Amino acid sequence: MKIGELAKRAGLSAHTLRYYERIGLLPRADRDASGQRDYDASIISWIGFLERLKTTGMPIREMLRYAALREQGAETGTARRVLLEAHRDKVRAHVADLQAALLVLDTKIGGYAEAEQRMENHDAELPDVRRKPVGARPARARGN
């Protein structure tokens, strides 16, 4: 598959794919007779995995380390597992931090909502100033 098609299917730009190949996150693509990159369809699942690592905040240097281990083959399975476990621990800690921050936001939002409700209830209890005040004298009728 050509780089344009891969970019479309992977949801990345051709520039990003070339960059990933240049730094070693993607293996070097085979070239067709005209010298254009020709990717195997299986690369899409690898790119998807890299995007998940990126989404979870894994630094490129760790992604490169993982890619290098992957390239070395099955004997690096333990090292890859250890790397992913360490990253998972960081992700879990970050999720816990985000949940704590979300609780603070929810509490603050709830406080504003309660204050707004109190204001609405208070406004509903106030007399309408357009109405005749209680105890006011009726207007006198004028004669012709």
Tens digits of per-residue pLDDT, 4-39? 999 999 999 999 999 999 999 999 888 999 989 999
Question: What average pLDDT score do residues 98-112 get?
Answer: 96
Residues in CB range of 67: below 8 A, 6 or more apart: 24, 25, 50
The reported pLDDT for the residue numbered 132 is 59
Task: In whole angstroms, give the CA distance from residue 14 to residue 20.
Answer: 10
Half-sphere exposure of 82 (CA within 13 A, CB side): 6
Amino acid identity at 7: A
- For the cut 70, the answer to whether the pLDDT of residue 104 exceeds it is yes
Residue among 118, 112, 62 at smallest CA distance from 89: 62
Domains in the chain, start-ordered, CATH in brackets?
A: 3-125 (1.10.1660.10)
Report which of residues 139 and 73 the model is more confident about: 73
Residue 32 and residue 24 in contact, taking contact as beta carbons nearer than 8 Å: no
Task: Say if residues 83 and 64 touch (Cβ distance below 8 Å).
Answer: no
Beta bridge partners of 30: 38
Q: Residue 122 has what pLDDT?
A: 81
